[in-house]
Amino acid sequence: MRRIIFTLSIVALSIFSYAQDMPAYSVFTSEGKKVNYGEMISGIKDADVIFFGELHDNPIVHWLQLETTKSLYELKKDKLILGAEMFESDNQLIMDEFLGGLISENKFEEEARLWPNYKTDYKPLVQFAKEMNLSFIAANIPRRYAALVFSKGFEGLNSTSDEAKEYFAPLPIQYDAELACYKNMLNMGGMGMKHSNENLPKAQAVKDATMAHFITKYWKEGTQVLFYNGTYHSDNHQGIVWYLKNANKNLKIKTIASTMQKDVTALDDEAKGTADFILVTPENITRTH
């Protein structure tokens, strides 16, 4: 009997040790210091605007987005405003009508040009906004206008109607081609795009400028905007953050970046400095799409 108990104890200890060696995520500061989730929340809770940079197909990051939203709501209540890259500005009316109970969930989902992973990854955030009566910013430029910039440059936007111009940042679009986030897009072969050209970073920039524009429109003194976006849009405090700082240099901005590593117990050197807090998840996790 003692031998059996001893054997079972060794097995249980081995299982426990194995589980301890398999964390689902880690959080690090910009300098690479490992912190816990609560410390991350404490570090962002007083910001005016928080950018939660995500990996679009990463389920752990999406779960942490929802948990972060809940944690900030406990602190800010109705002063919290949500917003996202994944919803285009010409769908703001539809978003507002759904959140206000004027249209059904089915109608919203039929008409809002939702991303393929909406139901698994973004629907919980929208539902939380509805349940808590929070505003949700549909902030991104409609993709047809981003495509126009890709084909004709910023000048292509000049020919759009006055109504169309309500859906993107005011013209002329400010642009710094030397910012690493835009310069690197061409150096990396258009981030995998087959038909890249010199307008590709401009198409990225008009998205960033537009999202910053609508965040500025919704933010008021005493509120807090939690914004969900692809991590590249806010990494290194560039992209949307650069435009937002130019619009209001007094805003207190915090950023969260997401990355994947084989080992999540220490932050790789190349990830340091990308954000105020960096979420690291294992490379071999199952993706949502």
**At 197, is the pLDDT very low, low, confident or very high (cuts 50, 70, 90)?**
confident
Question: In the predicted model, is pLDDT for residue 223 greater than 70?
Answer: yes
Closest-CA residue to 51 (of 260, 191, 245, 230): 230
* Number of structural domains in the chain: 1
pLDDT greater at residue 11 or residue 100: 100
Instruction: Determine the pLDDT at residue 287.
Output: 86
- The answer to whether position 289 is within a domain reads no
pTM: 0.91
- The answer to whether position 7 is within a domain reads no
- The answer to whether position 10 is within a domain reads no
- The answer to whether position 263 is within a domain reads yes
User: pLDDT tens-digit profile of 125-149?
Assistant: 999 999 999 999 999 999 999 999 9
Closest-CA residue to 56 (of 210, 231, 184): 231
What's the CA gap between 108 and 127, in Å, rounded? Answer: 12
Mean pLDDT, residues 79-108:
98
Domain span at 80: 24-282
Instruction: Determine the pLDDT at residue 8.
Output: 41
Instruction: Determine the pLDDT at residue 189.
Output: 56
Q: How crowded is residue 121: how many other Cβ atoms within 10 Å of its Cβ?
A: 24
Q: DSSP class of residue 118?
A: I
**At 80, is the pLDDT very low, low, confident or very high (cuts 50, 70, 90)?**
very high
- The answer to whether position 188 is within a domain reads yes
- The answer to whether position 1 is within a domain reads no
- The answer to whether position 15 is within a domain reads no
Backbone phi and psi for residue 68, each to the nearest 5 degrees, phi listed first = -65, -40
Average pLDDT taken over every residue of the chain: 92
- The answer to whether position 229 is within a domain reads yes
Please report, for the domain that includes residue 217, its CATH number: 3.40.50.11550
